[in-house]
């Protein structure tokens, strides 16, 4: 072995570089590029500030690494469902559940990306090219055609994503307004919303000429009784 580059499990079973990335992820996603301090990250990682510059030359380089890593958590999620599930309706259900699960796990992620993409849109551009996201709309269109569905797939997709993400992104506002500052109530709402959105996605595809479409369950959240 020539230089033995690999560093081994320092104390927590984590490389120093891994500790830095984990810490930077936390701090950056919470405070954003401008709000995060290198000292905060160093503290969070339990190391000296200079080490940050030793592993990643500058704050921007470190941020880029985090931004890219964070962004990459989204993309494969999208691609996946397109290929996996044959049944279009089931695919929509899965997507809703997948997104909910994901955002539940990292609730700071959406507003972080939503905010930082405005600061330097060029970075987004670069990332989109790096991964193969450009073919995304076409594949969506194909699934639509295969399922015999007309209309703009982008409308459905944006409704789906925004519907899942928004309650988390606006949580600090909604919490006292809609959920009595009670985390349990919020969680219950999210559970309900997952079902609601799944139902909504299917409902989008149903119109009057299509009443025999097999709606698996009857837990539709909205019923018109009068008017």
Partner DNA sequence: AAATAGTTTAACCAAACGGTTAATAAGTGA
Partner DNA sequence: TCACTTATTAACCGTTTGGTTAAACTATTT
Cα first-last separation, the chain: 79
**Footprint (CB under 7 A) of DNA, residues 154-173:** none
List the one residue from 14, 18, 32, 38 that touches DNA (CB under 7 A).
38
Output 43 or 141, the one with its CB closest to a copy of itself: 141
Cβ proximity to DNA: between 21 and 160 the closer is 21
104 is a site residue for DNA (CB under 7 A): no
**Rounded Cα–Cα distance for residues 86 and 81 (Å):** 9
Tell me how far apart the alpha carbons of residues 37 and 105 are, in angstroms, rounded to a whole number: 24
Rounded Cα distance between 186 and 103, Å, is 14
Angle between helices 109-119 and 59-72 (to 10 degrees): 130
- Tell me: does residue 83 bind a copy of itself (CB under 8 A): no
List the interface residues with DNA, window 12-31 (CB under 7 A). 16
Q: Does 178 bind a copy of itself (CB under 8 A)?
A: yes
Q: Output 58 or 141, the one with its CB closest to DNA.
A: 58
Which option in a copy of itself, DNA, none does residue 8 bind, with CB closer than 5 to 8 A by kind?
A: DNA
Q: How many CA atoms lie within 13 A of 181 on its CB side?
A: 1
């Amino acid at each position: 072995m020539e230089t033995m580059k690999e560093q081994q499990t320092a104390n927590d079973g984590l490389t120093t570089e891994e500790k830095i990335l984990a810490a930077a992820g936390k701090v950056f996603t919470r405070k954003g590029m401008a709000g995060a301090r290198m000292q905060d990250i160093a503290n969070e990682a339990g190391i000296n500030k200079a080490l940050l510059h030793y592993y990643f030359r500058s704050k921007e380089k470190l941020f880029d690494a985090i931004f890219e890593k964070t962004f990459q958590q989204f993309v494969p999620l999208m691609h996946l469902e397109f290929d996996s599930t044959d049944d279009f309706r089931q695919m929509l259900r899965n997507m809703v559940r997948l997104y909910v699960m994901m955002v539940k796990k990292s609730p700071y992620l959406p507003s972080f990306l939503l905010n930082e993409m405005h600061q330097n849109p060029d970075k987004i551009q670069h990332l989109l090219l790096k991964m193969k996201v450009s073919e995304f709309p076409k594949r969506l269109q194909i699934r639509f055609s295969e399922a015999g569905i007309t209309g703009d797939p982008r409308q459905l997709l944006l409704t789906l994503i925004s519907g899942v993400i928004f309650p988390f992104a606006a949580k600090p506002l909604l919490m006292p307004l809609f959920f009595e500052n009670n985390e349990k109530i919020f969680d219950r709402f999210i559970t309900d919303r997952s079902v609601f959105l799944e139902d909504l996605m299917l409902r989008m595809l149903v119109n009057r000429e299509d009443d025999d479409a097999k709606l698996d369950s009857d837990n539709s959240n909205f019923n018109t009784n009068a008017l």
